[in-house]
Amino acid sequence: MSESQPQRSRGLGAAARVTALAGSVMDLHVRIALQEVDREKRRLISGGIFLAMGGVLMIFALLIVEIICLIWMQNSLEWSLSWALFILACSNIFLAGVSLRIGGQLAKGPYLPETFEGLLKTTKAVLGKT
């Protein structure tokens, strides 16, 4: 029994060291990200404002185009209002799905090069590779 006690405490000590290492690495990555945001705050804020303005204007333009398409479907194709609205809704759902799929693929992965390099160094240190 006395031999199992030191082995168990060594195992817990190793787990505590790995946990502490992982915690300090995550703190480092968070500090790097916050420093980058601080340096680029003005650019990020103005960029966000212009992106929001562009998004709102695009929504208005899309709404107007959909109203024009609805009127065209009713007049040229002689479709009822409910059928034209159904077709527009189905096309919107399809385009939203495609957009979400593409956006999800583009949003994957680490964003900051320093974070990516830090993760590589941490992985190598934990695995014992140099």
Give the model confidence (pLDDT) of 17-44 as tens digits: 778 888 888 888 888 888 877 777 888 7
Unique residue bearing structure tokens 């900051």: 112
- Whether 4 has a pLDDT exceeding 60, the answer reads no
Higher-pLDDT residue of 86 and 16 is: 86
* 59-104 pLDDT, tens digit each: 999 999 999 999 999 999 999 999 999 999 999 999 999 999 998 8
- Whether 8 has a pLDDT exceeding 80, the answer reads no
pTM higher than the cut 0.85: no
DSSP one-letter string for 10-72: HHHHHHHHHHHHHHHHHHHHHHHHHHHHHHTHHHHHHHHHHHHHHHHHHHHHHHHHHHHHHHH
Please enumerate in sequence order all residues whose Cβ is within 8 A of that of 66, keeping only pairs 6 or more positions apart, or say none.
88, 92
Length of the chain: 130
Higher-pLDDT residue of 65 and 112 is: 65
How many Cβ atoms are within 10 Å of 56's Cβ, its own excluded? 10
Q: What angle do CA 46, 29, 104 make, to 5 degrees?
A: 60
Q: Looking only at Cα atoms, what is the longest distance across the chain?
A: 90
**111 — pLDDT class (breaks 50, 70, 90):** low
Report which DSSP code applies to 107.
Answer: T
Domains contained in the chain, number: 1
Q: Which domain covers residue 8, as residue numbers?
A: 4-127
Report which DSSP code applies to 112.
Answer: -
